[in-house]
Amino acid sequence: MASSPKRRIAVTGLGLVTPVGNDVDTTWSALLAGKSGAAPITNFDASGFSTTFGAEVKGFDPETAIPNRKLLKYASKSHRFALAAASQALADAGIAPTEADSHRWGLAVGAGMLSVDYEDLKVVHRHAAADGNFNADGLMDPEFPGNPLAFCRWQANAGQALLTKQFGIRGYASSVHTACASGGQAIGTALKVMRRGQCDFMLAGGFDSMLNPLGISGFCLLGALSTDNDNPSGASRPFDLTRNGFVLGEGSGFLVLEDWDRAVARGAKIYAELAGDGNSLSAYRITDSPPDGNGPIQAIHQALGDAGITTGEVDYVNAHGTSTQMNDRSECAALKAVFADRISEVRVSSTKSSMGHLIAAAGAVEAAVCCLAIRDGIAPVNANYGTPDPDCDVNLVIGAPVKMKIRAALSNSLGFGGSNSSLVFRNPEEVQA
């Protein structure tokens, strides 16, 4: 018996909080201009670390950005970014859960790697130093993070819980923890949930903030961060021969996904079709992708197969492109293996060159970037590029964005532990043709 056609899924809303803008329009304009969000760290004294800069979210006011302010006491820094970005996405889509349909709404999030805020850690340290242990009096201190509110903030699913409470989502919820692939794999999860008919609408995205002493120290010890302390704005230079590590960032991105026919029937603005998802494991090293691109290759092939398109229909790739030596070479090897003789026709850029690496949020933010690229017919620039690397000889967008029709865009996210995510987004005109 012939299988039924796959359910089409529309992207109808976007929301972003990033180091280069606290909304979609500001972020997109900054990316097209190649503006950098990297600067010396301001939220703690980083002078003792080998890297003293990062890509912080700037000028963010949760009191005005988040509709339900009562949730703020339960929300860590990254959760606040998530609540704001998700609110933007729903407002952009012009639709939200109601009492009548909340059971048909779902949520899939790529959650941050560290769920404890630096401020909480400082209070723990102060109490430990003063008391020598965590006694009953300390646990009752409202400033001590052993109290119930702080304990709730620390939970791995806290962001998911806050989002379901904020928006009244009752149909499905999942929290994905696959490091830098989390945001992309959360969106892939949402696609699967909708295709099997469990939900008609999904809020999908990611959030993270590791710009604290624990996050910086860990990545410094791994040798993963750029040490260009005298040139933060030029430090993230994916695929450049002189690259020497990534720039740690923070933020959140969310997409509203909707049944295609429902979206068309209500006259919704459709950015793109979320057409394909690929998910693989490299099983190589905890911190590196394999030199031959195996693993990422499988994820890309899966995503293209799931979307039912060929390599000849992909015009733009938003690469994972972290600006580390091993990752960039591995990803380029994967792209060249997949696209073969057509690799010179596919435009490639990494918007981490402007925003830095948002870890669990990266895949979701970059998925939104693909939707914007399709909408406006423009491939964003791979900023800070100056010296070609012969191992990364793909068709990079350098110097300025490129105006072009994008029939399909590929978004790659490659995480610690070997988790790989690839997503395919199709131009609405291609779907309707």
Q: Which of 79, 127, 180, 370 is catalytic?
A: 180
The rounded distance, in Å, linking the Cα atoms of 136 and 155 is 22
Q: Phi and psi at residue 294, in whole multiples of 5°?
A: -65, 140
Count of C-beta atoms within a 10 Å radius of residue 121: 15
Q: Phi and psi at residue 232, in whole multiples of 5°?
A: -55, -40
Q: Phi and psi at residue 152, in whole multiples of 5°?
A: -65, -40
| Total residue count of the chain as it appears in this document | 433
Count of C-beta atoms within a 10 Å radius of residue 319: 31
The rounded distance, in Å, linking the Cα atoms of 111 and 153 is 13
Count of C-beta atoms within a 10 Å radius of residue 259: 20
Q: What DSSP assignment string belongs to 55-100? A: B---S--HHHH-S-GGGGGG--HHHHHHHHHHHHHHHHHT----TT
301 included as an active-site residue: no
The rounded distance, in Å, linking the Cα atoms of 420 and 296 is 6
The rounded distance, in Å, linking the Cα atoms of 260 and 65 is 29
Q: Which of 357, 370, 371, 392 is catalytic?
A: 357
Q: Which of 127, 199, 320, 371 is catalytic?
A: 320
Angle (CA) 113-116-122 rounded to 5° is 140
370 included as an active-site residue: no
180 included as an active-site residue: yes
279 residue type, one letter:
N
The rounded distance, in Å, linking the Cα atoms of 35 and 38 is 9
Could you give the residue numbers annotated as active site? 180, 320, 357
